[in-house]
Amino acid sequence: MAKKKTTPTNKPAAAAEKTAGRSTRAAKAKKPAKPAPSPAAETIDPVPEEPGKPGRPSGSKNLDRVIVQRHPATCPQCGSTDRKVQRIAKEQDRGGIIQRGPNTGALYTHIVWRDTVCVCGQHLRELSHENRNGGDQV
């Protein structure tokens, strides 16, 4: 006896009754309904945002800034102050008073050596005295 092929159109009646309530897709969970807004929320008007530019608020005051002179090191080969590479090579936590140069008499708390390369290719080691305490302490 040859088996009959079952197709959706010629399923046996018992099988059709079993699968009648099923769908091919998995049943999706029903989402709960959103609650209705409260009447109090409807009566309060939100504060409208003022249109404007982002950034600094209008009416803010400018700070008075003291202009100080910085003396950058110049390259002995080309005279430029521009650098391609700069890194801190050595740093000492040693305080004192600068004895020579344009800042004679200034206090410092650290001595910093920086390895730099000028735009012309000259390798330099720059020395700077820094006051990191910000005060008059030595």
Does 59 reside within a domain?
A: no
Q: Which residue has the tokens 């700077």?
A: 128
Question: With the C-alpha atoms ordered 101, 103, 104, 106, is the resulting torsion angle positive or negative?
Answer: negative
Does 29 reside within a domain?
A: no
Structural domain harbouring 95: 83-130
Range from 68-72, 81-85, 110-114, 116-120 carrying the lowest mean pLDDT = 68-72
Quote the number of domains for the chain.
Answer: 1
Does 94 reside within a domain?
A: yes
3-state helix, strand, coil in the chain (%, to 5): 10, 20, 70
- The number of CA neighbours under 13 Å toward the Cβ of 55 is 3
Residues 29-86: tens digit of each pLDDT: 666 676 666 655 555 555 555 666 778 888 888 888 888 777 788 899 999 988 888 8
Does 51 reside within a domain?
A: no
Does 92 reside within a domain?
A: yes
Bridge-based pairing of strands 107-108 and 110-118 is unpaired
Does 116 reside within a domain?
A: yes
Which of these, 88, 72, 82, lies nearest to 120 by C-alpha position?
A: 82
- pTM value is 0.45
